[in-house]
Structure 1
Amino acid sequence: MPSLDEFGRIRLWTAGRQTADFLTRSGVELGIGDDAAIVSGCGAEREWLVTADTMIEQVHFLDETMGEADVGFKALAANVSDIAAMGGEPKFALVSVCVPPAWDAQRMRRLYDGLYECAERYGVAVIGGDTTSAPQHLVVSVTLIGTVEAGRAIRRSGAKPGQSVFLTGPTGLSAAGLHALRRIAAAEGAERAALTDWLSPRLAQAHRRPVPSVKAGRILALTGWGASLNDVSDGVASEAWEIAEASGVRLLLKEKLLPLSGELSAYASGNGLDAADLALFGGEDYVLLGTVDKSREAQLRERFRPEGIPLFVIGEVEEGPPGVEWEAADTGLRKPLAKQGYNHFAEGAM
C-alpha cells in the first residue's frame, strides 16, 4: 500500500463506517471533514460545535522553545481556533493529560495555569477530562464544545467562483518564531545572548501564545458574509487546498497580495529564509483563511476595523478542477501551489 498522509489515513480509518442516515438520525449536521462537527440538540435557535486537538511533547512542543504555561495555553487555543473557524463561540472544555515522570506536580500546575488563562480569555468553562500516566512524553488532549446560531456555521465547502480569498492577519510568524527559538536553544554563551537580543518578541509570542480569531469568525457568521472558512493551523497552502477540495473549485493566490509582516521579512532576510515560504507553508498562526463575495469586501473591512481586525484579500476563486495556484509577482506566471504544510504522516514529518 502506498504511503498515506494524515488525511488519507483518516479516510481509511473512518470512511463508510456509519451511514449518512444513522448520522442524521443521531443529530449530526456535519461530521468528519471540517474544523469542527456540527450537532443539533442545542435548542431550536443554536447548534453545538464539537472539536478535539492533541499536543504531544517532541511532536508539537519542545522544552527549549516553550514554557509549561505556554503549552497549556496553546493546547486550548488550538481548539478555540477550530470553533472560531466555524463562526462559533467556545463554551466547554474537557482536558485529558498523559503525564510522564519528568512532569512533576509543579510543572503540571504551571501548564494548567496557562490553560486556565486561555480559558478565562475566551470564556471557556473547563468541566472535566481524564488523567493517566505516560512512559516518556507528555500528551495533552482537549475536547472543546461551542455553539453557533442554527444554520450560521461556516464550512470549508462554501467557496464559489468569483469570490475573493482573504486572510484575517499575516502568517508565517509562528514558524519564524519556532525557527528562532530553536536556534537560540542550540547556541551557547555570547552567541545565544546575541540571538536572544535580536529575536523579535512578536515572533516568539506568535509561536508560544497564538491568538485565535474568535471575533472575526463571529462577525463572518452573524453577517452571513463568510462563504467558506478555515483556520491557519497547518499553513496557508494546506488550508487553501482543503477549501478548494471541499468546495470543488480552484483558488488562485497572488504573491503581490500576500501580507508579510516587517518582523517576518527582517528575520527571513537575515537568516537565509524565504518569507513567502514561511507565510505559505508555516502553521499555527490561527488567523482565518476564507472566501467572501467581492461585493461584500468593503463592508466586511468596515465591520472588522473597529475590532482591530485586518482584512487582506490575497486571491480569488475560479472554476476548474479543485486545486490551488500561485501567481508570481514579477512575471504574473501561474503555477500549482504545493499541497504543503505540517502533516503528521507526510514523508519526513516525523
Structure 2
Amino acid sequence: MRKWGSAVSSLDEFGRIRLWTEGRQKADFLSRAGVVCGIGDDAAVVAGEGSGSEWLVAADAMVEQVHFLDETMGEADVGFKALAANVSDIAAMGGEPKFALVSVCVPPAWNEERMRRLYDGLYECAERYGVAVIGGDTTSAPRDLVVAVTAIGTVEAGRAIRRSGARSGQIVFLTGPTGLSAAGLHALQRIGAAEGAERARLADLLPQRLVQAHRRPVPSVKAGRILAQMGWGASLNDVSDGVASEAWEIAEASQVKLVLKEKLLPLSGELTAYAGDNGLRAADLALFGGEDYVLLGTADKSCEQEMRERLRAEGIPLFVIGEVEAGQPGVELESADTGLRRPLAKRGYNHFSEGTMQT
C-alpha cells in the first residue's frame, strides 16, 4: 500500500487540491447552497439573492521566504501585492472587486511600524480598485509573516468567465505583455546575491519598470469587465503562475488543445534588452514567469476586431498569440525559427513542484 507521504509528495499544487477536496461535498448539496462554480477556477461563483448578479469569492496568501524576501519587496509592496493578487482573481472571472478580509500571522521581526507600512500598501491597492476592507484576523507567528486575503466581488448573473469555455477554432489572446515581473525579480535577486562594488553597480543599472512590475503588478479589472459585459471571453485566466501554466489550466478545464505561436508573444523592449544583457531568453520569461496579472483567454474569431477596438479605446492592448484546436488536452508551442510544434511544459510557479520558477 502506498503511504500517504509518498502519495502527496508526487503531486503538484493542483493535484494536492484535488486530493484534499474532490468528492468531499456532493454536487446537489453545493447546488442547493447556491454554488454556481466551486473549487477549480480563479474564484468561486455563488448565486445572489434576486439582484441579477452573482458573488465572486477568491482567497490567496503570501508567505515570507516563499513569495517575498526583504531584498525583493518593501513592506508596502507586500501589502499592495497581497490584495492585488486577489483582485486579479476577481478580474479573471470578469468581475468587479467589492470587499476584502485580511488575516495576518505576524512574527516578532515585523514590529508595529513595519506592519503599518504593509497596511499602507494594502490600503493603497484597496483605494485604487474600490475595495472595502471589512475584517479579518490577526495572530502571532514564530518566524515568517503570512498575509492571507479573501476578496469578494460581483458579476452579472451568468456572465462569469470560467476556464472551461475554450472551444476549437477560437483565438488565444493576452491583454498585455508578460515576463516583466519575472525579469524584475531576477534583477532584484542578482543584487541580493552581490556584494560591495558589484552590488552598487547592479543597483545603478536596476531596470525600474521591470522591478515595478514585480513589486506592484496591475490587475486587469477593466479588461475583465469589458470581456464579461460584452460576452466576448469564452475562457479566461489571469497570468499569476505563468502563461504556460495558465494555458494548461484552460486546456485541461476545457478539454481542448491550445497552440501558442512563439513569434506572436508580446515581448516588451525592456524585457528583451534585459534578457539579452543577462543571458536569458525573453520568450522563456514571457512563457514561464508569473505575476504579470494580464489576462490570458480564448474568444471566437468573429469577435477579434471588435474586441481589439473596444479594448484599445480603454488603453488596453490585445495580442492574439495562438488558437484552439480539438484533440488531447494540452498546450503546444510553434517555434518562431522552424515553425515546428512541440509540447509546452506545464512550467511556471507551482508551490509543490521541484524546479519551479518562483516569482
TM-score of the two chains, using structure 1 as the length reference: 0.99
What is the DSSP-based 3-state SS (H/G/I as helix, E as strand, rest coil) of the residue aligned with 2:201? Answer: helix
CA-to-partner distance for each residue in 1:132-153, whole Å, 9 max, x for gaps?
0000000000000000000010
Matches within 5 A, 1:292-307: 292-307=299-314
Partner amino acid, structure 1, of 2:73: M
> Which residue of structure 2 aligns with residue 174 of structure 1?
181
1:217 aligns with 2:227: no
Q: Which runs of 5+ in 1 are unaligned?
A: none
Contact 1:5 1:345 in 2 (8 A): yes
1:120 and 2:127 matched: yes
Q: Which residue of 2 aligns with 1:232?
A: 239
CA distance in 1, matches of 2:158, 2:169: 23
* Mapped contact 2:96–2:153 kept (Cα < 8 A): yes
Match for residue 291 of structure 1 among 272, 277, 298? 298
Displacement over 6 Å in runs of 4+: none
Q: Alpha-carbon deviations, 1:327-347, whole Å to 9, x = none?
A: 001111000000111000012
Structure 2 residue 18 is the aligned partner of structure 1 residue 21: no
Distance 2:286 2:49 in 1: 38
The Cα of 1:86 is off from its aligned counterpart by 0.2
- TM superposition shift of 1:41: 2.5
Letter in 2 for 1:283: G
Residue pairs, 1:1-350, within 5 angstroms = 1-2=6-7, 3-349=10-356
Percent sequence identity over aligned pairs: 83
Q: 1:285-323 CA deviation, whole Å, 9 max, x = no partner?
A: 000000011111110010011211000000000010100
The letter of the residue matching 2:120 is D
SS at match of 1:330: coil
Gaps in structure 2 of 5+ consecutive residues: 1-5
**Letter aligned with residue 239 of structure 1:** E
In the alignment of these two chains, the number of paired residues is 350
Whole-angstrom CA distance in 1 between matches of 2:303 and 2:334: 24
Q: CA RMSD in A?
A: 1.0
Deviations 1:104-139 (A, max 9, x none): 000000000000000000000000000000000000
Q: Does the aligned pair in 1 maintain the 2:187–2:207 contact within 8 Å?
A: no
Per-residue deviation, 1:193: 2.3
CA distance in 2, matches of 1:329, 1:42: 50
1:6–1:345 CA contact under 8 A, matched in 2: yes
